[in-house]
Amino acid sequence: MEKFKMVLDIATKQNSLGFGAVALVTAGGEQFFSVAMFSCPCNDLNFVYGMVFLLVPALALLLLGYILSKKTWKTLTGVCQRRAALCRWRRLTVICTALFQVSSTALVAPASWIAVALINGKFYECAMTGTNVTAYNKYLCGEKGSRLQCQQELYRLPCGTGISVPQLDRQDVLLTLKAQSQVLGWLLVASIMLSSLLLTCVARCTSPISYLQIRFWRDYVHEESSLMDSYTTKHAKQLAERNVKSFFNKTPSEEIITPSNKDWEKISSLYTFSTKDNYYSTLHRAVEDCQEVDNGMIRLTSVKSNEPVDPNPLVLGFVMMARCDKIFQHQRMSELGLEQFADT
């Protein structure tokens, strides 16, 4: 699971490269399952057995993609405590956009599984020989001389044992099923690629910022997320060590500044991009808002723009998390009435 999570993180940050890695890992898993674990029962359970191997792993991969996505939990955490906010159209739109972006990433693995499984053909072949649709069974067996035997023993054809159907007729039926499976598989691959292309084109066409700024933003979000993870771990370790030492040594604890609940709430909310306030994340916005004049500090205006406000571009619907310890020290010192030390 850790390796799958790592690949999923790469897919989220590197787009096409990461999606390709997820698809390759999923294809390898499908090949392993089809060779090492799959064995068609050749009885009345053919249809159920084949469909379980075709669809259930895809469902599991989809759910795993949602579970391992940070954006999923960032979107859902605290939603039940803020039900009134859900009634606002803008807030609901942001949540739906975030869930759509999570879904587009989570669907890569299950779609790859189904496509590779269909191209391989074993699951489909087993499942369709277990159908009880008379018209379809007649279509498979065709006008062969052994048509009646073929229809009656259709579920035994994948195994090839205990049947009275000639070997050539059996091969014809299995080749027909494999051809149908492969056609469906390649149609699924083409539809996925076409949908991805269309969504990317729409997102880029409606983006209010340039291509180079999009690349810069993506790099910034990646670095901010990495620093957030490492700094959070380091800060949590320092706080834990202080508390443990203070408990066992019975000494006064050292002061360690930790963000308040309000501070965490600011940087954990879903971010909506605006070209007027050219922030790149909720942390960036929180840091700049800390410089307000009413706190006795000068507002930094280097990121301000006089351009009109544009809606959040679909291509950059990031949900970013990070922190900056110095700014939070400003806030905590301000609360303690120590503004004169805040700028030192």
Please give the chain's pLDDT, 344 residues, in tens: 554 455 445 444 445 555 667 778 887 888 787 777 888 999 889 999 999 999 999 999 999 999 998 888 888 887 777 766 666 777 778 788 888 889 988 998 999 999 999 999 999 999 999 988 888 888 888 776 677 888 888 888 888 777 778 888 888 999 999 999 999 999 999 999 999 899 889 988 988 888 898 899 889 989 998 999 999 999 999 999 999 999 999 888 888 888 888 888 888 877 777 777 778 888 988 888 876 534 444 433 334 444 444 444 444 443 333 334 444 444 444 444 443 333 43
Whose structure tokens read 């066992």? 248
Residue 113 placed within a domain: yes
- Residue 221 CA to residue 40 CA, distance in Å, equals 47
Q: Report residue 271 as tokens.
A: 């971010």
Residue 280 placed within a domain: no
Whose structure tokens read 């997102």? 203
Q: What is the DSSP string of 84-148?
A: HHHTSHHHHHHHHHHHHHHHHHHTHHHHHHHHHHHHH-HHHHHHHTT---HHHHHHHHTT-TTHH
- Residue 280 CA to residue 319 CA, distance in Å, equals 10
The stretches of 41-81 forming alpha helices (DSSP H) are 46-68, 70-76
How far, in Å, are 165, 234, 270 from residue 252 at the CA level?
87, 21, 39
Tally of domains in the chain: 1
Residue 132 placed within a domain: yes
Q: Report residue 229 as tokens.
A: 């993870």
Residue 32 placed within a domain: no
- Which residues make beta-bridge pairs with 304? 277
Q: What is the pTM of this model?
A: 0.72
Asked if 172 and 160 count as a contact pair (C-beta separation under 8 A), the reply is no
Residue 267 placed within a domain: no
Residue 56 placed within a domain: yes
Domain span at 171: 38-76+102-206
Residue 110 placed within a domain: yes
Nearest to 224 by CA among 275, 266, 282, 271: 282
Residue 19 placed within a domain: no
Give CA torsion, residues 68, 185, 52, 177, to 10 deg. Answer: -170
